[in-house]
Amino acid sequence: MKICCIGAGYVGGPTMAMIAKQCPDIPVHVVDLNQERIDAWNSDSLPIYEPGLDEVVREARGRNLKFSTDVDAAITEADIIFMAVNTPTKTFGVGAGRAANLEFVEKCARRIAEVAEGHKIVVEKSTLPVRTAEAIKRILGAGASGATFDVLSNPEFLAEGTAIDDLLDPDRVLIGGESTEAIEALVNVYARWVPREQILTTNLWSSELSKLTANAFLAQRVSSINAISALCEATEADVDEVARAIGMDSRIGPKFLKASVGFGGSCFQKDILNLVYLCEHFGLREVAAYWEQVVIMNDYQKRRFAEGICRTMFSTVSDKKIAVWGFAFKKDTNDTRESAAIYVCRDLLRERARLAIYDPQVPEAKIRADLIASMSNLAGEISDLDRSLVEKNVTIVGDGYEAAKDAHAIAVLTEWDEFKTLDYKKIYGTMKAPAFVFDGRNVVDRKRLTEIGFEVFGIGKSGV
């Protein structure tokens, strides 16, 4: 048995590294069109930051884990082919801004149809709209090579920052398909380390839809607690106390109730918008509107945070220095896709603030590229004014202290652990007074900081 995976990104890389680690006798070949990414996977500096990933890759790479750009060879050799390519929101044509762009998945399927021989199991690892497998089966079936295929859906539930633990000890593995033999072949791979009762098998469509539904439910919890955070701020209730009180109800549960500046990441928004598009496609207008509200609430939360900063700082942040702590969409990742920080920074820049941004993992070029992109229109155009705001009003610095020096305010946008243990007395001494802290993640010790002299505003805490 041999495995290949097309797409060496945040999902393809870690999932295949884990399979290779747990199944030393199965050769695993991960391929990508992006040479730079493959080179990084073959180096000591992996393309993604993920706690524990280095060790897993180091153990398996060179033994039974290989990274290359030779897509055709990988397809030809493999018995099981995973497709873990990106499925971003469409930015053009019908469904722009909502539907998933299936171009990359379709290209994979066409390549497989062209070069495969014999029998292959093709696994949808990417997150896809329900009934995509129907299209994939047709594309594979139209190939001239005479190869035969089974298509399975095996969505991935790992979260960034905890990917290795999630892969090692998943709540469940989900496999949807039509052929019992194909399902069994994939079950046997995961069963090397995941207890059988946690490997769920379903029909293809339930599996595809379960992935979108899981992300929609998770994001809905964040939007729900964020909606309540606004009410807390108006009523002197404390959102962490409310979350704790409701989370102790075993029917609600305590996880995913952390109020924040808004959820980010490559998937929540795109998957919900995709769900909304699907519902509209099937004429389910009320269902579409229900789920869309989760994204609308998230946009409101990001906007509300930036507006709160301006309002609190005497209604102007123009020419004021604001330290931005954290740019990744959550801690323990270098991923910035859809990070709330991008939109908060954009709004502050448009108010002419000067930003000193620090993130322990995100490189300067990435931060600047994200800010430029956030100011561009759909055609990718950016006004001279917006470009000069990113060029002149943004500096990227090496730590939280440097960011806060001479600043009027600190905005905490990612919950990196290091922000809990900084020397706040020292920081206070270097800032302009009154020194504001806007904690978008509720990570700082409000009481201590207030005693030092800071004016602290949190999410769902009375104040901002």
Ligand X SMILES: NC(=O)C1=CN([C@@H]2O[C@H](COP(=O)(O)OP(=O)(O)OC[C@H]3O[C@@H](n4cnc5c(N)ncnc54)[C@H](O)[C@@H]3O)[C@@H](O)[C@H]2O)C=CC1
Ligand Y SMILES: O=C(O)[C@H]1O[C@H](OP(=O)(O)OP(=O)(O)OC[C@H]2O[C@@H](n3ccc(=O)[nH]c3=O)[C@H](O)[C@@H]2O)[C@H](O)[C@@H](O)[C@@H]1O
Neighbours of 308 (CB within 10 A): 17
The bridge status of strand 80-83 relative to strand 65-68 is unpaired
Q: Alpha-carbon torsion 209, 87, 215, 124, what sign?
A: positive
- Considering only 181-189, 254-262, 274-282, 311-319, which stretch makes contact with ligand Y by CB under 6 A? 254-262
The amino acid sitting at 53 is L
Q: Which of residues 303-322 bind ligand Y (CB under 6 A)?
A: none
Of the pair 304, 337, the CB lying nearest ligand X is at 337
Query: Is 282 marked within a binding site?
Result: no
x/- map, 118-157, ligand X, by CB under 6 A:
--------xx----------------------------x-
| Separation between Cα atoms, residue 227 and residue 285, nearest integer Å | 23
Q: Contact with ligand X (CB under 6 A): which of 73, 104, 115, 387?
A: 104
Q: Which residues, 6+ apart, have CB-to-CB distance to 46 below 8 Å? A: 13, 40, 53, 54, 57
Residue 266 interacts with ligand X (CB under 6 A)? Answer: yes
Of 116-135, which residues contact ligand Y (CB under 6 A)?
Answer: 127
153 three-class SS: strand
For ligand Y, the binding residues in 140-159 under the rule CB under 6 A are 156-159
For ligand X, give the closer residue by CB, 104 or 256: 104
Contacting ligand Y (CB under 6 A), which of 29, 61, 258, 302?
258
The candidate with the shortest Cα–Cα distance to 174, out of 123, 218, 116, is 123
- Partner interacting with residue 260 (select from ligand X, ligand Y, none; CB below 5-8 Å by kind): ligand Y
Closest distance to ligand X from the beta carbon of 175 (Å):
15
9 annotated to bind ligand: yes
Query: Which of the following is catalytic: 108, 267, 279, 345?
Result: 267
DSSP string covering 222-255, please? Answer: HHHHHHHHHHHHHHT--HHHHHHHHHTSTTT-ST
Beta carbons of 336 and 370 less than 8 angstroms apart: yes
- 267 labelled catalytic: yes
CB atoms within 10 A of CB 55: 12
The CA angle 107-77-59, to the nearest 5 degrees, is 100
Identify the three-state secondary structure at position 195: coil
Q: Do the beta carbons of residue 329 and residue 339 sit within 8 Å?
A: yes
- Contact residues toward ligand Y (CB under 6 A) are 127, 156-160, 215, 218, 222, 256-258, 260, 263-268, 329-330
- Contact residues toward ligand X (CB under 6 A) are 6-12, 31-34, 37, 71, 84-87, 104, 107-108, 126-127, 156, 158, 160, 266-267
Residues belonging to the active site: 267
Residue numbering of the annotated binding site for substrate: 156-160, 211-215, 251, 258-264, 329-330, 441
Residue numbering of the annotated binding site for NAD(+): 7-12, 32, 37, 85-89, 126-127, 160, 267-270, 337
Residue numbering of the annotated binding site: 7-12, 32, 37, 85-89, 126-127, 156-160, 211-215, 251, 258-264, 267-270, 329-330, 337, 441
